[in-house]
Amino acid sequence: MIVAAVLFTYAVLLCTLAPRLLRGVQWAERAPRLGIVVWQVLGASALTAAVLAGLALSVPTVRVSTDLAELLQACVMALAAQYATPGGASAGAVGAVLALAVLGRVAWCTGAALLRIRRERRAHREVLDMVGRPDAARGVIVLDHEEPAAYCLPGRHRRTVITTGALRTLDDDRLEAVLAHERAHQAERHDAVLAWAQALARAFPRVPLFRIAEAEIARLAEMRADDVAAARSGRLTTAAALLAVAAGRAPAVALSAGGSTAARRVRRLIKPHRPLGRLRVAAGSLTAAVALALPLLVVGGPAAAATQMNYCPDGTPAAQVTTMR
């Protein structure tokens, strides 16, 4: 019971407190790739903890034996011992429901999101291939459209698309920055990262962690691609390219009051770049690894201890059994 309680508390803390502490922190913008990994790890860790908490409630730890028949018998005995009492049975049922619900919800929502994304991409690509003009020299598809815009259609049949409006607005250096940005998205598979974050946010819409992680990962992925473009074309050239494409369009109706992400990205590129030091990146990566391993250690500790102990000195079947609670 203690293991389940610890894991459950850990998951709840991660889901509520962690996003409040981490949202919009300065270091993430200085090391966007680490920031993305940290948000992903927090989500994975919270999910693992919730599932394991459920399992810890419903499955007692069984002394591991070398003999398979003996092991099976011990398992059956352990389960029978737990479910013989009404309290044990209901705790087990609650745990099983929790674990299955979390796993099922994630699988269902991820599957649905992936299918939807694939369908939308294919429909978009079919029209694109009909009305776009391939520009083999630049490796892009050109669309005859006044408004400057650039985007990429990720996936196996990927396309980078740019409008004639954008080609007119951007000189060669800035165009190179735009293309480097799109190539970075593709090389680092940001579409898959975002699809996963989006699926989790849809699966658990009331959990702050997943909702905020989705927005933060989307923002950090753009900043990461900006950094790659800036390394190639220069920070000010990249900022100018962003500004040219963003400002050439009719302003959107709904924009967040705290300034758009686009503006934040331009400001970040204009200001002198201070990437996070190596030591702090290492410390951040270590923290992420610990967060990922923590739920497994909490479960694995008692389970490993159980394999070492001899619970049945007198050979009674009931004594062969222990539970994690």
Partner 1 sequence: MARFGELEAAIMDAVWGAGRSLRVREVLERLERDPEPAYNTVHTVTEILHRKGWLSKEKDGRAYRYGPTKSREEYIAGLMGEALAVAEDRTATLARFVQQMPPGEAEELHRLLGQAVAREAGEASK
Residues at the contact surface with partner 1, assessed by CB under 8 A: 113, 117, 120-121, 124, 127-131, 143-145, 147, 149-154, 161, 163, 178, 181-182, 185, 190-191, 194-195, 198, 215, 218, 222, 236, 239-240, 242-243, 245-247, 249-255, 259-263, 265-267, 270
Residue closer to partner 1, measured from CB, 29 or 191: 191
Nearest distance from residue 271's CB to partner 1, in Å? 8
Residue closer to partner 1, measured from CB, 71 or 147: 147
Nearest distance from residue 191's CB to partner 1, in Å? 6
Residue closer to partner 1, measured from CB, 8 or 39: 39
Residue 56 near residue 3 (C-beta atoms within 8 A): yes
Residue 208 near residue 19 (C-beta atoms within 8 A): yes
Nearest distance from residue 5's CB to partner 1, in Å? 36
Residue closer to partner 1, measured from CB, 30 or 181: 181
Residue closer to partner 1, measured from CB, 99 or 225: 225
Nearest distance from residue 262's CB to partner 1, in Å? 5
Closest alpha carbon to 198 in 173, 180, 217: 217
Nearest distance from residue 38's CB to partner 1, in Å? 19
Residue closer to partner 1, measured from CB, 270 or 294: 270
Residue closer to partner 1, measured from CB, 144 or 171: 144
Residue 178 near residue 184 (C-beta atoms within 8 A): no
Nearest distance from residue 315's CB to partner 1, in Å? 58
Find residue 160's DSSP bridge partners: 152
Nearest distance from residue 186's CB to partner 1, in Å? 8
Nearest distance from residue 172's CB to partner 1, in Å? 16
Nearest distance from residue 59's CB to partner 1, in Å? 35
Residue closer to partner 1, measured from CB, 105 or 145: 145
Cα end-to-end distance, the chain, whole Å: 4
3-state SS record for the chain? CHHHHHHHHHHHHHHHHHHHHHCCCHHHHHCHHHHHHHHHHHHHHHHHHHHHHHHHHHCCCECCCCCHHHHHHHHHHHHHHHHHCHHHHHHHHHHHHHHHHHHHHHHHHHHHHHHHHHHHHHHHHHHHHHHCEEECCCCEEEECCCCCCEEEECCCCCEEEEEHHHHHHCCHHHHHHHHHHHHHHHHCCHHHHHHHHHHHHHHCCCCHHHHHHHHHHHHHHHHHHHHHHHHHHCHHHHHHHHHHHHHCCCCCCCCCCCCCHHHHHHHHHHCCCCCCCHHHHHHHHHHHHHHHHHHHHHHHHHHHHHHHCCCCCCCCHHHHECCCC
Residue closer to partner 1, measured from CB, 63 or 202: 202
